Amino acid sequence: MVRLITHNLLACHAKGCTTNNFPLRLQDAAVELRDAEFNAEFVRGFLPRLEWKALVGAARELGDKSLPEEMPEMVDEEFLQKLHHVLLEIHIDEGAMVCPNCGHVYPIANGIPNMLLAEHEIA
Amino acid sequence: MTLDYLFVFAQAHEEFRIPELLSVAELYDIKITFPEDPAKADVSRPFMVLGLESEEDVKQLARRCILIKSVHEFWGRGKTYEDMFAMTRENRSRWDKYVADTSFKFRVEAYNHTIPQRRQREIMESFDWMDFLGEINMRNAEITLSVFEEYVDKHGTTRHKHEGDGDFVEVFFGRLLEEGSARKLIQTFDVKKRSYFGNTSMEAEISLLMANQTLASPGKLVYDPFVGTGSMAYTTAHFGAYVYGSDIDGRQMRGKDKTPGIMRAAAQYGVQQRIMDLCTFDVTRNPWRCGELFDAIITDPPYGVRAGAKRLGRKTPLTRPSQQYVANRQDDQPYIPPTRPYELSALASDLVLLARYMLKPGGRLVFFLPTVTDEYAELDLHTLLCEGMEVIANSLQDFGSWGRRLITIKKTTSEKYSPPTFDTTPVTAAPDTPAHIPAHKDFREKYFQGFKKDEPET
């Protein structure tokens, strides 16, 4: 849980924190690999939503260097397989995600991130 | 070419039947021709003859629609056996190929009645004129010939077991194509047999019907913003979709074990891989980085009877900032921010706005809206719609003085919208056009007052 696809979709949403609030920095991440069924169509369909640099950065932080720095122009099956692995099979079960801008710590416990805001962080 | 097929439906959730058929038909690109005569399309009757383009389409519907009990190639119907036989004779081209040497058996059933064995035999013998030459084989017949007599509901009257035998409304005849296999899923997803559930868990049959309304299928991404104990996540994932869930109350998703409750139940159904992630947050303060992410949003928003909806904030705002308090806390317990109630009509309109932002064009929002039976008006739904969002199905589950409506809304626009602000300040209409107050407003209060009208005391 907290797969990298999810990490790629979450930004800090504290009041006033609107710039440099993504990607969240991973902290003390306990990583677990779990197989997921491959669906080429899904991975391909997700490409336009993806923040490539954030994904590559997070994967490298966790020790996975399978993805190239730049998104390749040629999207073939082999690339989709690699991307599938990074997006869906790397799980962060414990640790935290920290906002690079305001420093808000979003803790992850048993695979569930707590994205609740404190009272002073909401409008 | 379109041919006629006899559909036998479960007499449960009748208002959900046509929306479900249409959803599954859209999912598999199947064309259905409905009867023109309203009496023949009456959902209070379990039998309906529909036109379809191929046998494969019919079987596909029977494998996915929860409300289909069985499907048959349609050969005849009539108010009497004579009428039904006459029609069957005219449809000879549909059964001629079975006459020579196909083994067969009969299945004679009645709706709202039990046909005595003796007459069942008479009925089978009355088909002698078809001259089927193949052997009758009760175990391994190549084809099953189905006869259904439909009786009026005599529920609540005292009568002899077989009283009124033969006084049917109509009799139907055809060849069995397939038993509806999706109905078995109701047992599979039975809440009582689930390893994790709560007092707000949705019953299996409705969770399955909701999943069908989302057009769930492999590779789709579906989101439940009030996921609770995950009832709809399991059924949606069963049909192949990936599911995201979020809830303001993490305890609902977790339960007491180390492995979150939703993940344990998902493992029981073999769909844990498709639970994409679960997150704790208030959907009105959500961290989604962008919109147009999901193919569908499916949810049963808390409406205050068993669990009230909550959002971050306080009923009465503090005068001094809480910042110091949060920063200087001494204990090591996780910080739990204060919450305030989230009124249902505000929640419902917010949900539609959120869906417009978060859904891909053509995506669907499927949710339950509780309504007060005496007060509900079609207009209520319009109060929560916004540009680009259209109601495509609205099915009532009736509990008497109140009910809940399964609403399916489609995003018909491909415009880009900014994320909703979830402002609670109601839009004040111009004084000469009083805003319509939907009947689901303050539903919780109405429920606990037993839906009494505000009548002046005498």
B219-238 pLDDT, tens per residue?
999 999 999 999 999 999 99
Q: What is the pTM of this model?
A: 0.91
Q: Do B172 and B99 fall within a single domain?
A: yes
Mutation target among A24, A112, A117 for the B interface, most CBs of B within 10 A: A112
Residue type at position B3: L
From the list A42, A45, A110, which residue is nearest B260 (CB)? Answer: A110
Contacts with B246 from chain A: Cβ below 8 Å: 115
- Do A114 and B287 lie within an 8 Å CB cutoff? no
Strand duo B339-341 + B359-372: pairing: unpaired
Q: Cα distance from B220 to chain A (closest Cα, Å)?
A: 7
Q: What are phi and psi of A97, to 5 degrees?
A: -115, 130
Please, which residues have CB within 8 angstroms of residue B401's CB and are 6 or more apart in sequence? B372, B373, B374, B450, B451
Q: CB of A35 within 8 Å of any CB in chain B?
A: yes
B-chain residue closest to A46, CA distance: B293
From the list B221, B280, B282, which residue is nearest A113 (CB)? Answer: B280
| Residue B133 neighbours by CB distance under 10 Å | 10
Structure-block tokens of residue B186:
């109701």
Strand duo A105-109 + A90-98: pairing: antiparallel
* Region of residue A112 (phi > 0: left; psi between -120 and 50: alpha; otherwise: beta): beta
Q: Do B330 and B224 fall within a single domain?
A: yes
A-chain residue closest to B219, CA distance: A42
Q: Residue B251 belongs to a domain with what CATH number?
A: 3.40.50.150
The domain of B294 spans: 189-411
What pLDDT was estimated at residue B457?
Answer: 46
Do the domain assignments include residue B267? yes
Higher pLDDT, B227 or A1: B227
Q: Cα distance from A79 to chain B (closest Cα, Å)?
A: 18
A-chain residue closest to B320, CA distance: A120
From the list A6, A12, A117, which residue is nearest B312 (CB)? Answer: A117
From the list B246, B276, B313, which residue is nearest A122 (CB)? Answer: B313
What pLDDT was estimated at residue B428?
Answer: 45
What pLDDT was estimated at residue B321?
Answer: 56
Query: How many domains does one find in chain B?
Result: 2
Order across the sheet with B294-299: list the strands.
B275-280, B242-247, B221-224, B294-299, B359-372, B402-411, B389-398
B-chain residue closest to A18, CA distance: B289
Q: Which residues of B20-59 are buried (b: 16+ CB within 10 A; e: fewer)?
A: bbbbbbebeebebeeeeeeeeeeeebbbbbbebeeeebbb
Residues in chain B where the model's pLDDT stays below 70: 304-308, 317-334, 424-435, 452-458
Q: Do B251 and B400 fall within a single domain?
A: yes
HSE toward the beta carbon, residue B107, CA cutoff 13 A: 13
Do residues B263 and A1 touch, judged by C-beta distance below 8 A? Answer: yes
Do the domain assignments include residue B429? no
N- to C-terminal Cα distance for chain B?
A: 67
What pLDDT was estimated at residue B439?
Answer: 76
Q: Residue B62 belongs to a domain with what CATH number?
A: 3.30.2130.30
| Residue B427 neighbours by CB distance under 10 Å | 7
Q: Cα distance from A78 to chain B (closest Cα, Å)?
A: 18
Q: Do B178 and B256 fall within a single domain?
A: no
Q: Do B282 and B218 fall within a single domain?
A: yes
Do the domain assignments include residue B419? no
Rounded distance between C-alpha atoms, residue B50 and residue B267, angstroms: 38
The helix-helix angle for B17-27 and B204-213 (nearest 10°) equals: 50
Q: Where are the domains of chain A?
A: 2-121
Say whether domain A2-121 belongs to CATH 2.20.25.10: yes
Contacts with B271 from chain A: Cβ below 8 Å: none
Strand duo A105-109 + A112-113: pairing: antiparallel
Contacts with A102 from chain B: Cβ below 8 Å: none
Rounded distance between C-alpha atoms, residue B373 and residue B400, angstroms: 7
Do residues B53 and B61 touch, judged by C-beta distance below 8 A? Answer: no
| Predicted ipTM of the assembly | 0.96
Q: Do B155 and B260 fall within a single domain?
A: no
Q: What are phi and psi of A20, to 5 degrees?
A: 50, 30
Structure-block tokens of residue B133:
């030459």
Q: Do B215 and B308 fall within a single domain?
A: yes
Do the domain assignments include residue B95? yes
* C-alpha distances out from residue B296 to A11, A98, B241, B415, Å: 21, 29, 10, 17
User: Tokens 């509990």 map to which residue?
Assistant: B399
Q: Examine the fold and report which residue of B146, B164, B184 is the final residue of a domain before the chain moves on.
A: B184
Cis peptide before A23 (omega within 30 of 0): yes
Q: Do B206 and B178 fall within a single domain?
A: no
Contacts with B335 from chain A: Cβ below 8 Å: 118
Q: Do B141 and B22 fall within a single domain?
A: yes
Q: Cα distance from B64 to chain A (closest Cα, Å)?
A: 21
Q: Do B15 and B123 fall within a single domain?
A: yes
The CA-based dihedral angle spanning residues B263, B267, B269, B275, taken in that order and rounded to the nearest 10 degrees: 50
| Residue A36 neighbours by CB distance under 10 Å | 19
From the list B221, B279, B288, which residue is nearest A112 (CB)? Answer: B279
Strand partners, A109: A112
Rounded distance between C-alpha atoms, residue A84 and residue A5, angstroms: 9
Q: What is the pLDDT of residues A46-88, one digit of tens each?
A: 999 999 999 999 999 999 999 999 999 889 999 999 999 999 9
In A, residues 92-111, which contact B (CB 8 Å cutoff)? 107, 110-111
Q: Do B133 and B200 fall within a single domain?
A: no
Q: CB of A73 within 8 Å of any CB in chain B?
A: no
From the list A1, A51, A117, which residue is nearest B278 (CB)? Answer: A1
What pLDDT was estimated at residue B318?
Answer: 61
- Do A118 and B322 lie within an 8 Å CB cutoff? yes
From the list B276, B281, B293, which residue is nearest A116 (CB)? Answer: B281
Q: Do B262 and B396 fall within a single domain?
A: yes
Rounded distance between C-alpha atoms, residue B324 and residue B321, angstroms: 7
